Amino acid sequence: MISFLKNKHIILGVTGGIAAYKSPDLTRRLIEAGAIVRVVMTQHAKEFITPLTMQAVSGHPVHDELFDLQAEAAMGHIELARWADAIIVAPATADFMARLARGEANDLLTTLCLATCAPIAIAPAMNQAMWKNTLTQSNLEALLAKKFLIYGPASGLQACGDVGPGRMMEPADIIEQLNAIFNTGLLAGKNILITAGPTREAIDPVRYITNASSGKMGYALADAAIEAGAHVTLISGPVNIAKPLRATCIDVVSAEEMLAAVLEKITHCDIFFSVAAVADYRLKHIFSEKMAKKAEEITLELVRNPDIVATVANLPNRPWTVGFAAETDNVLQKAKNKLINKKLDMIIANQVGNNLGFDSDMNTVTVLWEDQQKSFPLMPKQKLARELIQLTSRLSERKIVC
């Protein structure tokens, strides 16, 4: 099975049932699938399995108190709710389901479920009679109506000796269900071309001009596009990031190399994301040997590099074209000017500096298209990339010809 859980932030909620013995195995399988897991335990859960066990398996301290000053100083409950890409409560007891259906927030886990915008999945585990009880079924209907995902329960022999529905779904099956959350198919069959990272413009054999781009945003978009079912080609400048497993990856160094690679691949492209921070200038003449440090001052003559996104946007039969505007001031106005002047379909504007944008794992952006815009709050770049892919899928649909 292809894993779409790579780098996903998963909160595993553990409530007080005997099926909690399966939670360490579920945690291990999530991590093996590439997820980053934080565990939240209710007080009754700790009567069945220790926080130390869950900490050892997840590699992170367990969260178990709503009012914990030490935890609030590190990752407070609201930040934890924002951090999550998905929440899975396994096992979920009848009591937990009842409290959640009523909208209670009387412990950390229910509070997180109310505070997050991430999808929430519940794997019920209880005695078969409790599961069949009309009150439990009423709570189940309420949760389904509120778009909670329900995984299971399975049927079989229970710890109490009864036989019937109520067993927690097996960890392997839960992984398969969670995987489907991120396998959206929004861009199924589309060909997506993405540029990422910086370019390097040589001065001499050992020196170059570059910028602080890490490539993280472009690579996150590549991952999100793959999850959406697209065929992705990633053209990347020099970065220190692992290549997406299911993308066609092309490494380049200079702006001219990147443009040549883009023009070679653009013909069969449906959507083009110009995410790379391309150097605006290059040396007019590159020194063939390392420059000796002799003069107190030197002058380097620079010429403009090609504008890759504008070149693509002005091609006949061009793809739906998305640009990025990384600015330090007047961000929205500069982005709007680029949208119009370069004839782009959409532009993603973000302010760089102050731990935002370049070389950060977090970003906040405003997307502009036609006469509209949409802002996204500060969030991990992986999560932001999925939001941008969803928006791109919707806006580009009417222009892409299959």
State the catalytic residues.
160
Give the strand pairing for 231-236 and 248-251. parallel
Beta strands in 104-230 (DSSP E): 120-124, 149-150, 154-157, 163-167, 191-196, 201-202, 208-209
Burial of 234 (0-12, 13-18, 19+ CB in 10 A): buried
Rounded CA gap, 131 and 388, in Å? 40
Nearest to 225 by CA among 374, 380, 386, 391: 386
Residue 355 — left, alpha, or beta (φ > 0 → left; ψ -120 to 50 → alpha)?
left
Nearest to 357 by CA among 331, 337, 393, 339: 331
Nearest to 8 by CA among 105, 88, 63: 88
The helix/strand/coil state of 384 is helix
Length of the chain: 402
